[in-house]
Structure 1
Amino acid sequence: MSDVTRESMEYDVVIVGAGPAGLSAAIRLKQIDPDLEVVVLEKGSEVGAHILSGAVLDTSGLDQLIPDWKDKGAPITVPVKKDNFYMLGEAGAMRIPNWPMPKLMSNHGKYIVSMGNVCRWMAEQAEAVGVEIFSGMAASEIVWDKDENGKDRVAGVVAGEFGRNPDGSEGPGYEPGMELRGKYVMLAEGVRGSLSKVVMEKFDLSKGHCPQKFGLGMKEIWEIDPAKHREGTVTHTMGWPLGKNAGGGSFIYHLENNQVYVGFVVHLNYENPYLYPYMEFQRFKHHPMVAELLEGGKRVAYGARAISEGGWQSIPKLTVPGAVLLGCSAGLVNVPRIKGNHNAMLSGIAAAEAAAAAIQGGRAGDELIDYEADLRSGPIATDLKKVRNVKPMWSKWGMIPSLVFGGLDMWTNDLFGFSLFGTLKHGKSDAKSTGEAKKFKEIDYPKPDGKLSFDRLTNVSFSFTNHEESQPCHLKLKDPAIPIAVNLPKYAEPAQRYCPAGVYEVIGEGAEAKFQINFQNCVHCKTCDIKDPSQNIDWTTPQGGDGPNYPNM
Structure 2
Amino acid sequence: MTNQELLARYGPRESMQYDLVVVGAGPGGLATAIHAKQLAAEKGREISVLVLEKGSAPGAHILSGAIMDPRALTELIPDWKQRGAPLNQPVTDDAYVFLSRQSGFRVPRLLLPPFAQNHGNFIVSLGDVTRWLAEQAEALGVEIFPGFPAAELLYDDDGSVKGVATGHLGLGKDGQPTAGFQLGMELLGKYTVFAEGARGHLGRQLIARYQLDQDREPQSFAIGIKELWEIDPARHQPGFVLHSAGWPMASDTYGGAFLYHMQERKVAVGFVTGLGYTNPYLDPFEEFQRWKTHPNIRYYFENDSGAISARRLSYGARAINASGINALPKTVFPGGALVGCDAGYLNVGRIKGSHAAIKTGMLAAQAACEAIIAGRQHDELSAYPEAFGKSWLHTELNKDRNFKNWFKHGLATATLMNGLEQLVLRGRIPWTLHRDQPDHARLRPAAECRPIAYPKPDGKLTFDRLASVFISNTNHEENQPAHLTLEDASVPVRTNLARYAGPETRYCPAGVYEFVPDETQGGQAQRLQINAQNCVHCKTCDIKDPTQNIVWVTPEGGGGPNYAGM
**TM-score tier after normalising by the smaller chain length:** over 0.9
Partner of 2:515 in structure 1? Answer: 506
Matched, 1:322 2:335: yes
CA distance in 1, matches of 2:316, 2:502: 23
CA distance in 2, matches of 1:266, 1:10: 42
Partner of 2:454 in structure 1? Answer: 445
Indicate which of 466, 469, 476 corresponds to 1:467: 476
Partner of 1:80 in structure 2? Answer: 91
What SS does the aligned partner of 2:160 have?
A: strand
Kindly report which structure 2 residues correspond to 1:4-153, keeping only aligned pairs within 5 A, or say none: 4-34=11-41, 35-147=46-158, 152-153=159-160
State the TM-score, normalizing by the size of structure 1. Answer: 0.97
* 1:413 Cα deviation after fit: 5.3
Partner of 1:161 in structure 2? Answer: 168
- Give the conservation status (yes or no) of the 8 Å contact 2:54–2:558: yes
Partner of 1:534 in structure 2? Answer: 547
Matched, 1:482 2:491: yes
* 1:460 Cα deviation after fit: 0.6
Kindly report which structure 2 residues correspond to 1:134-533, keeping only aligned pairs within 5 A, or say none: 134-147=145-158, 152-244=159-251, 246-294=253-301, 295-395=308-408, 397-411=409-423, 414=426, 418-420=428-430, 422-508=431-517, 511-533=524-546
CA distance in 1, matches of 2:472, 2:290: 20
Q: 1:214-272 deviations in whole A, cap 9, x for unaligned?
A: 00000000000111110000000000001236210000000001000000000010000
CA distance in 2, matches of 1:102, 1:303: 29
CA distance in 2, matches of 1:194, 1:455: 28
CA distance in 2, matches of 1:246, 1:158: 40
- Give the conservation status (yes or no) of the 8 Å contact 1:412–1:419: no
Q: Are the structure 2 counterparts of residues 413 and 125 from structure 1 closer, same or farther at C-alpha, using a change threshold of 3 Å?
A: farther
**Runs of at least 5 residues in structure 2 that lack an aligned partner in the other structure:** 302-307
Q: 1:491-545 deviations in whole A, cap 9, x for unaligned?
A: 0010000000000001138842011000000000000000000000000110110
What SS does the aligned partner of 1:220 have?
A: strand
Q: 1:435-484 deviations in whole A, cap 9, x for unaligned?
A: 00000121110000001000111111010000111000000100000000
Partner of 2:304 in structure 1? Answer: none
What SS does the aligned partner of 1:405 have?
A: helix
CA distance in 1, matches of 2:389, 2:215: 15
* 1:160 Cα deviation after fit: 4.8
CA distance in 1, matches of 2:514, 2:366: 47
| Count of residues in correspondence between the two structures | 545
Q: Are the structure 2 counterparts of residues 104 and 442 from structure 1 closer, same or farther at C-alpha, using a change threshold of 3 Å?
A: closer
What SS does the aligned partner of 1:289 have?
A: helix
Q: 1:321-373 deviations in whole A, cap 9, x for unaligned?
A: 00100100010111111001000000000000000111112223221011011
What SS does the aligned partner of 1:459 have?
A: helix
What SS does the aligned partner of 1:192 have?
A: coil
Residue type of the alignment partner of 1:260: V
CA distance in 2, matches of 1:74, 1:97: 33
Q: Are the structure 2 counterparts of residues 312 and 56 from structure 1 closer, same or farther at C-alpha, using a change threshold of 3 Å?
A: same
Q: Are the structure 2 counterparts of residues 47 and 413 from structure 1 closer, same or farther at C-alpha, using a change threshold of 3 Å?
A: farther
CA distance in 2, matches of 1:225, 1:282: 20
Residue type of the alignment partner of 1:453: T
- Give the conservation status (yes or no) of the 8 Å contact 2:253–2:410: no
CA distance in 2, matches of 1:525, 1:447: 24
Q: 1:71-130 deviations in whole A, cap 9, x for unaligned?
A: 000010100000001000111111011212333431010000000000000000000010
Residue type of the alignment partner of 2:343: A
State the TM-score, normalizing by the size of structure 2. Answer: 0.95
Residue type of the alignment partner of 1:69: W
More off after superposition, 102-111 vs 227-236 = 102-111
What SS does the aligned partner of 2:406 have?
A: helix
* 1:204 Cα deviation after fit: 1.1
- Give the conservation status (yes or no) of the 8 Å contact 1:222–1:299: yes
- Give the conservation status (yes or no) of the 8 Å contact 1:143–1:154: yes
Residue type of the alignment partner of 2:493: I
Name the % identity: 49
**Runs of at least 5 residues in structure 1 that lack an aligned partner in the other structure:** none
* 1:137 Cα deviation after fit: 0.6
CA distance in 2, matches of 1:413, 1:71: 39
Residue type of the alignment partner of 1:249: G
Residue type of the alignment partner of 1:23: L
- Give the conservation status (yes or no) of the 8 Å contact 2:402–2:433: yes
What SS does the aligned partner of 1:533 have?
A: coil
Q: 1:23-77 deviations in whole A, cap 9, x for unaligned?
A: 0000001001141100000000011000000100000110100000000000101
Residue type of the alignment partner of 1:26: A
What SS does the aligned partner of 1:18 have?
A: coil
Q: 1:386-413 deviations in whole A, cap 9, x for unaligned?
A: 0111111112x11111111112112355
- Give the conservation status (yes or no) of the 8 Å contact 2:475–2:559: yes
Residue type of the alignment partner of 2:165: V
CA distance in 2, matches of 1:550, 1:287: 27
What SS does the aligned partner of 2:439 have?
A: coil
More off after superposition, 531-540 vs 374-383 = 374-383
* 1:146 Cα deviation after fit: 2.1
Partner of 2:562 in structure 1? Answer: 549
More off after superposition, 92-101 vs 426-435 = 92-101
* 1:161 Cα deviation after fit: 2.1
